Amino acid sequence: MSEVKRRSAGRPASSAKASGGHSQSLVRGLKLLEHISVSPQGLSLSELADMAGLAPSTAHRLLQALQSQGYVTQENEQGLWRIDVKAFRIGNSFLEARDFIATSRPYLRRLTSVTGETANLGIRDGATAVFLAQHESPQMMRMITRLGSRAPLHASGVGKALLAWTPDDERVQLLEGRELTRVTENTLYTPDTLQDEMARIRAQGFACDREEHAIGLHCVAACVYDEHGTPLTAISVSGPMARIPETRLMELGGLVQDTAAEITAQLGGQVPS
């Protein structure tokens, strides 16, 4: 008898079955946890059993196990099951560990490969956009932004995208009483024109910079969102007007918007409706 066979012979006959049973219970328990997680108002035992396709007694046994470990809790009055603090901590550890710059880099490379233009990533810091990552265009004439450099929110593609989806009260606070610099003759710097631009950006899903930050340069940008649908960062594609005329600006806008949505999903975020 081979060594493998000897080990098999020495193993209790019920071991494999028990292992499979434990795995099945784990999967069922996780499924219950998933159902509860998308129902913040709570779910009854009968609702959970029905959703998971389990007998109420089985569902109750699994819920009790999850409760004993601090993953779910039961509201006494109505008997509804809800997410408890340990499940929140585990989910929150993912949010704390995510690195949106590292996650975005392959997407920036892909944008440059597809468009031939420079792709950028920036965040909002007060009333300015700060550029943190870039993938340069291979073209001789190309847009290059020094990492760490800043641009006014109202006068850059990344900045306008971030500004447009900043909560209304916060945006008003950012702009109120602040003199908006006219960076070029095309910069939108009055409250009325900027308000109209914000509405336009939200309607189309991406921001356009038409020589507003630098003469001869066009840019499109879209936001990457966190789990609350709040802007986390924004990505953009920039290049000379000669290669990005108005018609291509709109085409690239859709591409950048779709790419930003992919990054949002990768980070566990949510694109606002």
Half-sphere exposure of 192 (CA within 13 A, CB side): 0
Q: Are 269 and 223 in contact (CB under 8 A)?
A: no
Report the relative pairing of strands 118-125 and 128-135 from DSSP bridges: antiparallel
- Give the bridge partners for 237, in sequence order: 119, 220
Both tokens of 33, joined, read 């946890």
Both tokens of 25, joined, read 């219970």
Instruction: Mark out the alpha helices in the chain (DSSP H runs).
Output: 3-10, 15-37, 45-52, 56-68, 85-97, 100-115, 157-164, 168-175, 191-204, 246-266
Instruction: Name the range with the highest mean pLDDT among 14-23, 46-55, 256-265.
Output: 256-265
Q: Which of 25-29, 137-141, 198-202, 222-226 has the lowest mean pLDDT?
A: 137-141
The alpha-carbon radius of gyration of the chain (Å, integer) is: 26
Helix 191-204 / helix 168-175 crossing angle, nearest 10 deg: 150
Exposed / middle / buried, residue 31 (Cβ in 10 Å: 0-12, 13-18, 19+):
middle
Residues listed for the chain: 273
Rounded Cα distance between 204 and 234, Å, is 15
- Of all residues in the chain, the percent with pLDDT exceeding 70 is 89
| 3-state class (DSSP) for residue 186 | coil
Q: What domains appear along the chain, each with residue ranges and CATH number?
A: 3-95 (1.10.10.10), 98-266 (3.30.450.40)
**Could you report the per-residue pLDDT of 197-233, keeping only the tens digit for each?**
999 999 999 999 999 999 999 999 999 999 889 999 9
Task: Kindly tell me if the per-residue pLDDT of 186 is higher than 50.
Answer: yes
User: For residue 37, what pLDDT band results from cuts at 50, 70 and 90?
Assistant: confident
Residue type for position 24: Q
Q: What is the DSSP letter of 43?
A: B
Q: Looking only at Cα atoms, what is the longest distance across the chain?
A: 88
The reply to whether the predicted model has a pTM over 0.85 is no
**Hey, what long-range contacts does 178-186 have (CB within 8 A, 24 or more apart)?**
178/127, 180/152, 180/154, 180/155, 181/152, 181/155, 183/152, 183/155, 183/212, 183/213, 183/214, 184/155, 184/211, 184/212, 184/213, 184/214, 184/215, 186/210, 186/211, 186/212, 186/215
